[in-house]
Chain A
């Protein structure tokens, strides 16, 4: 033993020590590593699958006979297999070598002078390419393809839901673990309760944020590598805003999870205690699934603190948000996060030493 004088760590140092322990504990937990691995794999797979699907638009194979060649060649939209006779072309269609055959028309009054032969139904893409259509003028072009917008919205929703619930549950369990094992009494006699709460929220938020950033980077790299640069340019800014909103939004949820979990004393009760928070996390997910094509609902979502991390990035992606809107929403989110942390730390410090029966919210607030 030595008699070195102790220098009381500052608030910041205490917070840092606590958050470091949280992070180390997470990184050592196999279930956490596996869950993160799966989440990263899913994100990566969705990019790769998307790339394969989009590259699968290889040219349609058509058999061409005689004078039809000129017409078909002009479109440059087909993989051409030349055939000497109509009969030969029909055989190619029948055995599946080609999707359709284009042959010179028999009737003299045919407008285009060609006939398309297909196996069992009219080949729409071939007809579309070979048809003559009028000029189209669109007054208000949508900035994003509807289906893509749906995918992106759901993507943000799922990632938010998964990360928030995973880390929310983690922080809740870790609060109850300390309460249940009573180590909290040693911790409370050593550092302030607020430093303890701040350290737990910071540690888990850093992990959650790290996960979100890894997913964002992986998806961006995936999009770039698989040559979907156009999509990346569209989604990129929304991903960056999502990360920023998530950082604040998660701190808010983490404080709520910690506060609600501190009201119970056993791991078995964590689920029911934190279920109101889980409900708050699920709302933005379902809203975005059902209302991603409703600008009004999205606009409201993008300002409500719980759903802003999903709502605002989706609106940015859809080009519905003015430049100042994310900033305003971020200020709203940051302010509500501060209020929640204040209330949360009050509940947390009042409930920590009360063992046994669940502490009621009123008791926890009153102290």
Chain B
């Protein structure tokens, strides 16, 4: 099913999304990848404030290439989400509503998604030039010293993603692969 949503997003909306939905996101999202997650996690352990509001927000696991003159951002596709798995349940429990990345998630992340009514989206990996066209502005808001890994606030317009894990724990990576396993034999049987 094709859906259009705004970011930030509340839990009621998040719970209507289903694994396999093709979703266009418009609004404000934030980037954070390996080094920013590590730093946020360390801040939480020390009881310090995070540099962004987590509640109802969507984090995009992405570190862009540099922008050419006159452009908001360079190439901007998703990075592998599983590297953030260690830090993710804590952020979900703080109210993080969505994540955009690519690739498998751990069981602990899936449980935290279900527990908090959140959602995990995949963007098409390796489509950084195309995806950059849906990003209208980009501003570093924290951890500038991390370069490409800094936290950025992005304004996005119809940013295309697919729901992989929904708030009920359905996982598109598992179901879709089963549909096409040994495809040719199945076709012959039919």
Q: Do A and B come from one complex?
A: no
